[in-house]
Structures are given as C-alpha cells and as structure tokens.
C-alpha cells in the first residue's frame, strides 16, 4: 500500500525545545525533528519544512497570517494527503481557531500538535502526540484539528486546561473528533457533524485578512465601565467580554450594560462569552442578559473565548456584515442548535 504523504510544518514550541542557561528554547528544526521520528517514517512518507521557531507566547496575529498563507500554498499543490503543524501549547488553541476560519474548504486534514515535554526529554509526550496527529492527518477528513494526548479535537473547540499535565487540552462543549485506542484512531461522526455541510465543488480559499484591534476582557465585580470607553477611544474595534455565568454583567451602580451599549452604537463590535468553561452564554435568560441584547451586545453562545476572539478579529476584516458572520457557524465553533 502506498504511504500517505504528510507535510510536517514546524513552528517551534516545547516539542522543539532544548535546555539552555536561559531556560527551554525552541531549537530543533524540521530536519532534526524528523530524525527523531524514524519509526513513524516507516508508516508515512513525511517531509518536514520550517515555518518559524517560536515559543508560542510570542505568536502574534501576523504569524497566523503567515501560517495560513504557507498552508494554503502547500495544500494548493495537491501534493499532500495531510499536514501536521507542530506548535507551542500555550497559544495553540488560538492558532487552531484562527486557521479554521482562514482556511475555507481545506482539501485535506490540517492537524496541530505539540508536547508538554521537549521531544528530546526522556519522558516526552511528543512522540505519542505526533503519532496521533499523523493518524488524523492521514484520515482523509478535511478540516483543522488539534491532536494531543490520544485525542483529536476540532480546531475551534480546543482549550488548554492544564499547564503541566500531559492531558493538556479538552474539547469544550463538543465531543472529541477522535480517540486513539488499542484499536487505532476512532472518529466520532457526531463531533464532525458540527462542521457546516461542505460543498464538494467549493474551492479551497484563503481568507487571511484580520483586524488586530480586538481585545478580550474578563469581568470582575466592581469593574469600572470607563475601562470600555477607554478601549474604544484607543481605537479598538471589537471587544469580547468574559461575562458572569450565562452572560451576566452589571447594570446597577456601575452600569456596564449602558456604557457598552453606547460603544455598540458607535460601531464597536461587542460580544459576550461565559467565564464558565462549559455550556456557553444565553443572554435571553436573565434581566441583565436581555438588557445586554437590547444594547447591541452579541452572544457568543457555546463558543470558547479563544474561538470568539479570533473569530471577531477575522470577521471584522471580511466583506459583508461582521455581526452576521460572527453569529454564523463557520467551522464548528457554534453548535447548530444554538444558532439563531
């Protein structure tokens, strides 16, 4: 049987780190990483290429654009059966979500992975994560995914929930796309059904424009409404609010709802996600939420904060009404039953 041809695109992160006097620093290039993967090359035809070598805390919006353009360029050749991108774990969920929006109708799987321990560490989890990512990349299921700790997650549903445990990522408000067991990679069709139905004749399209004037703010009791006015005065075009519970925010004493409503009338896009990791926001339940809706605040429903903030950055730079685009299920970030 002919081996699946997989592109390994290397972007740094812990998996590529070596110890230095300044701490762990991404040092392994694609060739060196491939040398550590001899057992995997017996199963797949893997070609490695370098994108950048960064601690993922240094990943910026322009790096998302660079990655999307490179992936688009590579996959447009028709040469690859799948693509695996190694990436640091700290901002992997943001990158996976943004690539999910920027890469429309990808022809093959695009899978992000990394590790909690460097690949050259004696106890590294990097090999297992790479094996899981390669299995998903060769599955023939198009889309953007995160593969980690024997699990595969939609790119718009992954959240890093542990800073040091090897099981670092969870699929939030959606089942995992896949699980690796002794029987191999098992795909969950229910999770895949969250993705909008694909037109098999639709072209693979790069939509890499973004607006970086977007900020994520977590509410705390007593937060001053003036903070939001200052953000708008500073030129921010979008604000994602991590609100309380199902989307609550103060409307007495320090009237946050009224202040934010003034911003939406000035053209600032504002959306509410829940501070709770699970279940999402529903602004129709409580008085505070209904006041927020009447003041033009959008509800992100069951989107993660990572999916919502990157989507807002992306939506504000696209043609058409960014609010309509934000509320639409683009890449599995919103469960179909929660869309209006």
Instruction: Check: pTM over 0.75? Answer yes or no.
Output: yes
Q: Is the pLDDT reported for residue 331 higher than 60?
A: yes
Q: Which one is predicted more confidently, 199 or 263?
A: 263
Instruction: Give the mean pLDDT of the chain.
Output: 94
Q: What does the pLDDT look like over 297-321, one tens digit per residue?
A: 999 999 999 999 999 999 999 999 9
Q: Is 14 a catalytic residue?
A: yes
Burial class (CB in 10 A: 0-12, 13-18, 19+), 337: exposed
Residue of 14, 95, 113, 264 marked active site: 14
DSSP single-letter state for residue 202: S
Crossing angle of helices 226-233 and 256-265, rounded to 10°: 20
Stretch 58-85: mean pLDDT:
98
Beta bridge partners of 151: 148, 179
Q: In terms of Cα–Cα distance, which of 259, 284, 279 is closest to 270?
A: 259
Confidence of residue 53 (pLDDT cuts 50, 70, 90): very high
Question: Which residue segments constitute the domains of the chain, with CATH numbers given?
Answer: 5-206 (3.40.50.1170), 214-338 (3.40.50.40)
CA–CA distance, 212 with 85 (Å, rounded to integer): 23
Confidence of residue 64 (pLDDT cuts 50, 70, 90): very high
Stretch 36-42: mean pLDDT:
79
| Residue whose structure tokens are 């992954």 | 158
Confidence of residue 37 (pLDDT cuts 50, 70, 90): confident
The pLDDT of residue 253 is 87
Confidence of residue 63 (pLDDT cuts 50, 70, 90): very high
Confidence of residue 338 (pLDDT cuts 50, 70, 90): low
Stretch 68-76: mean pLDDT:
98
Q: Is the pLDDT reported for residue 209 higher than 60?
A: yes
Q: What does the pLDDT look like over 98-134, one tens digit per residue?
A: 999 999 999 999 999 999 999 999 999 999 999 999 9
> β-strand 298-299 against 269-274: which pairing, if any?
parallel
Q: Is the pLDDT reported for residue 31 higher than 90?
A: no
Please report the beta strands in the chain, taking only residues with DSSP state E, as ranges in sequence order: 5-12, 17-20, 23-26, 45-54, 82-86, 103-104, 109-113, 143-148, 151-154, 158-160, 169-171, 178-181, 184-187, 205-206, 214-218, 238-243, 269-274, 298-299
Q: Is the pLDDT reported for residue 202 higher than 80?
A: yes
Confidence of residue 8 (pLDDT cuts 50, 70, 90): very high
The pLDDT of residue 33 is 86
The pLDDT of residue 337 is 67
Q: In terms of Cα–Cα distance, which of 81, 334, 331 is closest to 207?
A: 331
């Amino acid at each position: 049987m002919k081996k699946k041809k997989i592109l390994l695109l290397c972007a740094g992160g812990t998996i590529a780190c070596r110890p230095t006097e300044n701490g762990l620093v991404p040092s392994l290039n694609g060739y060196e990483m491939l040398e550590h993967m001899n057992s995997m090359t017996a199963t797949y035809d893997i070609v490695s290429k370098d994108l950048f070598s960064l601690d993922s805390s240094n990943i910026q919006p322009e790096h998302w654009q660079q990655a999307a353009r490179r992936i688009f360029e590579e996959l447009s050749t028709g040469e690859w059966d799948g693509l695996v991108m190694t990436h640091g774990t700290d901002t992997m969920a943001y990158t996976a979500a943004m690539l999910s929006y920027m890469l429309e109708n990808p022809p093959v799987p695009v899978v992000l992975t990394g590790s909690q321990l460097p690949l050259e560490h004696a106890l590294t989890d990097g090999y297992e994560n790479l094996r899981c990512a390669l299995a998903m990349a060769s599955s023939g299921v198009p889309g953007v995914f995160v593969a980690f700790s024997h699990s595969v997650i939609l790119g718009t549903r992954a959240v890093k929930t542990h800073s040091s445990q090897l099981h670092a990522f969870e699929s939030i408000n959606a089942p995992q796309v896949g699980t690796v067991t002794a029987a191999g990679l098992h795909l969950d069709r229910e999770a895949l059904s969250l993705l909008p139905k694909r037109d098999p004749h639709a072209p693979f399209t790069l939509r890499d424009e973004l607006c970086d004037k977007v900020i994520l703010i977590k509410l705390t009791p007593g937060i001053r409404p003036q903070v939001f006015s200052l953000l708008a005065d500073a030129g921010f075009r979008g604000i994602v609010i991590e609100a309380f519970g199902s989307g609550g925010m103060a409307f007495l004493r320090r009237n946050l709802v009224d202040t934010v409503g003034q911003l939406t009338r000035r053209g600032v896009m504002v959306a509410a996600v829940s501070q709770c990791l699970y279940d999402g926001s529903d602004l129709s339940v409580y008085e505070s939420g209904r006041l927020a809706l009447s003041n033009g605040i959008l509800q992100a429903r069951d989107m993660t904060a990572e999916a919502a903030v990157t989507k807002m950055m992306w939506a504000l730079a696209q043609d058409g009404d960014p609010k309509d685009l934000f509320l639409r299920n683009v890449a599995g970030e919103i469960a179909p039953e929660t869309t209006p």
